[in-house]
Amino acid sequence: MNRIRTYLNQNKKQKLLIPFITAGYPDRSTTLNLIKAAIDSGCNMIEIGFPFSDPLADGAEVQFSSYQALKNGMTLARTLRIAEQVRKTSDVPLILMGYYNPILCYGENRFMKDAKAAGVDGLIIPDLPVVEASDYKRYAAIHDISTVFLAAPTTNKTRLKQIEKSCSDFVYAVTVTGVTGGGKVFGRDTDNYLKGLGKTLSKKFVAGFGVSSPETARRFCKYSDGIVIGSKLISLMRSAKSKSQGVKDAARFLSSVRKAI
């Protein structure tokens, strides 16, 4: 069975902590070290971003990491090899996040087959709307890969139901009408949005885009089943004096979030 589904079935009350880590940033070996540190810090699933030249849903930090990863020669195929390497030592659910153009170039069915062989359990493709995802969902189902689609504060209830139906196991709730990144201010409207999702959706959902502190993570987890953190980790890596220190700083931060939620 798919590891995401297995985990959710066996841990119904556990709040999910999912870090976003760009494959190849700041380099391949540090990516692997960061993933291991995240697992050791109590993360339940790992979201691995495969870099793309036009990451339209991402803010400055993720754009920077994608640019550096591409300069390092990271590709979709090499991202799968990172997943394969992680799978040798861990059964943590792995979710790839990226944009659809690289998958189309790779070949949809070929990609799903290779992703499954590498140990990938799920996919998040922000620029693929549900109404255009029939082939993608069909190939994913053939290879038992979970599809995760995004809902936003502007999503109406009819479309939200379409999104939930297209999600294999859980929904990704975008908390802002904008791109990823820290420094966002969340008010009562965000709380009401997440509360509304909890009343409308029958599947679990996680909140992401802008989670940059244990306090925000705790707040979102009052209403959601977990949170995704990405830009904050990249920021910590960028500000550290060394790559190894960056990994330690990221691990310390994730541990504080795990404790908070």
Residues acting as catalytic residues: 47, 58
Among all chains, which residue has been given the structure tokens 């139906």? 165
Question: What is the gyration radius of the CA atoms in the chain, in angstroms?
Answer: 17
The amino acid occupying position 212 is S
Determine the Cα–Cα distance for residues 139 and 132; give it in Å rounded to an integer: 13
Q: Are 97 and 49 in contact (CB under 8 A)?
A: yes
Q: Treating both helix axes as pointing N-terminal to C-terminal, what angle do 231-239 and 243-260 enclose, rounded to 10 degrees?
A: 140
Do β-strands 46-49 and 16-22 pair in parallel, antiparallel, or remain unpaired? parallel
